Amino acid sequence: MWIKVCGIRDRFTASRVAELDVDAIGLNFYHGSSRVVAIEEAIEISRLLPSHIDRVGVFVNHAIDDVESIANRCGLGIVQIHGDESASYLVELRRRMPQVRLIRAWRMGNDGLEGLASFLAECHNSDCPLAGCLVDAHAPGVYGGSGKTVAWEQLVREYDRVHWPPLILAGGLTATNICAAIEATHPWGVDVASGVESSPGIKDVNLVRQFLTNARGGAEQSSQS
Q: What is the pLDDT of residues 108-127, one digit of tens each?
A: 988 999 999 999 999 999 99
The answer, yes or no, to whether residue 143 has pLDDT greater than 70, is no
Domain ranges of the chain: 2-224
Query: Which CATH number applies to 2-224?
Result: 3.20.20.70
pLDDT at 144: 61
Q: What is the pLDDT of residues 158-211, one digit of tens each?
A: 999 999 999 999 999 999 999 999 999 999 999 999 999 999 999 999 999 999
Given pLDDT bands bounded at 50, 70 and 90, which one contains residue 142? low
Given pLDDT bands bounded at 50, 70 and 90, which one contains residue 146? low
CA-CA distance, 94 to 5, in Å (whole number)? 24
CA-CA distance, 3 to 191, in Å (whole number)? 6
Share the mean pLDDT of the chain.
95
pTM (two decimals): 0.95
The answer, yes or no, to whether residue 147 has pLDDT greater than 80, is no
The answer, yes or no, to whether residue 225 has pLDDT greater than 70, is no
3-state SS record for the chain: CEEEEECCCCHHHHHHHHCCCCCEEEEECCCCCCCECCHHHHHHHHHHCCCCCEEEEEECCCCHHHHHHHHHHHCCCEEEECCCCCHHHHHHHHHHCCCCEEEEEEEEECCECCCHHHHHHHHHHCCCCCCEEEEEECECCECCCCCCCCCHHHHHHHCCCCCCCCEEECCCCCCCCHHHHHHHHCCCEEEECHHHEEECCEECHHHHHHHHHHHHHHHHHHHHC
What proportion of the chain, given as a percentage, has pLDDT over 90? 89
CA-CA distance, 30 to 84, in Å (whole number)? 13
